Amino acid sequence: MATGVGTDWQAWQESWDRQQEWYMPDREERFRVMLDMVEALVGPEPRVLDLACGTGSITARLLARFPDATSTGVDLDPALLAIARGTFEGDGRVTLVEADLTDQHWPARLPHQSYDAVLTATALHWLRRDPLAALYGRIAQLVRPGGVFMNADHMSDDSTPRINAAERAHRHALMERARREGALDWADWWRLAAADPALAGPTARRFEIYGEHAEGDTPSAEWHARVLRESGFDEVRPVWSSPSDTLLLALK
């Protein structure tokens, strides 16, 4: 990947996708279902808030499928935001906002007061239950009546320990096989980012903010659904799941 002014941001975007797919080989399927539900519930020209957007994985797929959509991406990670800014530079459909989702005032930084859809994937498990519940309350205020919130993330079920153990062992065996074949894991990917002059500074700031990894929670889908209903959503249920993850949809 080139560096400096000539940095190939699309290559970094694709590298991030491959690293994430090492952990979640069905990642594209969850994105497809997410966008299916966006189209079904709010139509093909949505105003979307890409929450904890990272490099803009959801935004990229949203705009490829719905060219008349618009997206506001919000995140705190300076390295991933740098990739997002490079990827979407000059695209008037995309606004990127740097904000801390644990700060109660973060919605004031957004360009719009309401959205047709708020979407997030594999991000909110960085938060513990109390700040996540507070975040859900703020999200409910941003989603317009008839709009949707969707969260695709790790959602545990502690009532099935033997199933969980078998699934985890199988998944980790497949991951190790892919690793031997050259797949990058989280730590490998960040080492590459730190070595790129265009990302070295943002990557250093990123680790100052987060450390190696935040210690969040992975409560059950039932917990998420209950808190979302308490926050003001009328209907909440899973619309997709894998053995380890769930895509939960909440309708205002």
Average pLDDT over residues 18-24: 93
Q: How confident is the model over 224-241, as pLDDT tens digits?
A: 999 999 999 999 999 999
As beta bridge partners, residue 121 has 152
The pTM (predicted TM-score) of the whole model is: 0.94
Q: How confident is the model over 29-81, as pLDDT tens digits?
A: 999 999 999 999 999 999 999 999 999 999 999 999 999 999 999 999 999 99
- Residue 215's pLDDT is 74
Alpha carbons 34 and 73: distance in angstroms, whole number: 16
Residue 141 carries which DSSP code? H
Stated as kind and residue range, the H or E segment containing 236 is: strand 235-241
Q: Single out the residue of 52, 69, 48 nearest to residue 112, CA to CA.
A: 48
Alpha carbons 207 and 79: distance in angstroms, whole number: 10
- Residue 63's pLDDT is 98
The DSSP-derived string for 171-191 is HHHHHHHHHHTT---HHHHHH
Averaged pLDDT score across all residues of the chain: 94
Alpha carbons 189 and 159: distance in angstroms, whole number: 34
Average pLDDT over residues 106-113: 98
Which band of pLDDT confidence, cut at 50, 70 and 90, is reported for residue 211? confident
- Residue 6's pLDDT is 61
- The burial of 23, by beta-carbon neighbours within 10 Å (0-12 exposed, 13-18 middle, 19 or more buried), is given as middle
With a cut of 80, say whether residue 214 has pLDDT above it: no
The residues near 218 (Cβ < 8 Å, ≥ 6 apart) are 125, 153, 154, 155, 156
Portion of the chain with pLDDT greater than 70, in percent? 97
Cα angle, residue 106 at apex, residues 118 and 124 outer, rounded to 5°: 50
Answer with the residue of higher pLDDT: 41 or 175: 41
Architecture of domain 4-67+76-136+159-242: 3-Layer(aba) Sandwich (3.40)
Query: What Å distances lie between residue 80 and 44, 59, 203, CA to CA?
Result: 27, 13, 8
Domain ranges of the chain: 4-67+76-136+159-242
Tell me how far apart the terminal alpha carbons of the chain are, to the nearest angstrom: 43
Q: What are phi and psi of 59, to 5 degrees?
A: -60, -45
